[in-house]
Amino acid sequence: MSVDYGVENDEDLVRRAQGGDTRAFDELVRRYRDKVYRLSFKILRHEEDAAEALQDAFLSAYRGIKSFKVESTFSTWLYRIATNASLMKYRKRREGHVSLEQSQNTDENAEMLQIPDWSTQPLKELLDSETREVMDEGIQRLPEELRTVFILRDIEDLSNAEVAQILDLTVAAVKSRLHRARIALRDRLTRYFADKMTRKDRGRV
């Protein structure tokens, strides 16, 4: 009996792939390649590097599929591989570079400040193309450990538990890093909006 791979769930496809069914793995690739590329591009911000990270991730997944245990979802396992592949490329590209905005506080268990979330800014302003550029630049300037958590949690919309599993962190560490990333981005957007209002006020004079 022929198999309709398109309607198989991930778990069944993984089992087939572990048994040597390459068409099952091809379906997993088709199902996740766009998502993996998007994640890699958001980490690397470079099309060619993201494409290479995509290839590296699926090659690693293919080689390691037999060792995959259904203790987590296939997507979480794949995102972990893709994140590691992307970070390896990013580190090679940034070797020797030290971010000027490296956080001074590295204590993952530091008490969180009670501050408003940057995302409470008016949606119409956050959707402004200039603001998106400021936001993208701010994300890229974050230290790697904060940037990766922010991308996975707030952009890819994964849960704290999924991000913790992907990055091999505790949930508390994920929350702490996410909080620090949001502080940095909130401050950057606050400065941007303040400068924007100042320019508008000057224009009225």
What is the predicted pLDDT for the residue at 108?
47
Domain limits, CATH 1.10.1740.10, in the chain: 5-93
Whether the pLDDT of residue 130 is over 60: the answer is yes
C-alpha to C-alpha distance for 192 and 131, rounded to whole angstroms: 8
Please tell me the least confidently modeled range out of 58-62, 95-99, 190-194. Answer: 95-99
C-alpha to C-alpha distance for 146 and 101, rounded to whole angstroms: 11
Which architecture does CATH list for 5-93?
A: Orthogonal Bundle (1.10)
> Rounded to two decimals, what is the model's pTM?
0.77
**Residue pLDDT, tens place only, 63-120:** 999 999 877 899 999 999 999 999 999 888 876 444 433 333 444 444 443 333 444 4
What is the predicted pLDDT for the residue at 148?
96
User: 118-204: which CATH topology?
Assistant: Arc Repressor Mutant, subunit A (1.10.10)
